[in-house]
Amino acid sequence: MADYQQLKKELKNKQKLLVCAKQLGVVGDATRLKICYLLCHYPELSVGEIADILDTSISVVSHSIKKLLNLQLVKRRKETQTVYYSLTENDFIKTLKNFIA
């Protein structure tokens, strides 16, 4: 039988579990999930393009992108005055792509 105290201790200290929980929380928002969905189908999009496709404001998209950036779910590339966003390559994104692509 498993040592429950040891398991409790391990679960509290598992950084990967904490990161995954935060990532799931971020993509649990409909707008952010839609952004991830778009980026699964288009390699790069600007905030303006995303806002146009989602029929929402640039400020809503910018706010959502900021949260995705903070958890390293998206990355940015600047070309002159335009910033383009794309999904990062990590295990979480690979799993997410399998669910929503």
Span 89-100, pLDDT tens digits: 888 788 877 877
Q: How far apart are CA 10 and CA 13, in angstroms?
A: 5
Enter the tokens of residue 98: 């399998």
Q: How far apart are CA 71 and CA 74, in angstroms?
A: 8
CATH number, span 23-100: 1.10.10.10
Q: How far apart are CA 1 and CA 4, in angstroms?
A: 9
What is the rounded average pLDDT of the residues 18-24? 77
Contact between 81 and 88 under an 8 Å Cβ cutoff? The reply is: no
Residue range 24-75, pLDDT digits in tens: 887 788 899 889 889 988 989 999 999 999 999 999 999 999 999 998 899 9
What is the rounded average pLDDT of the residues 72-85? 94
Give pTM, 2 decimals: 0.78
State which amino acid sits at residue 6: Q
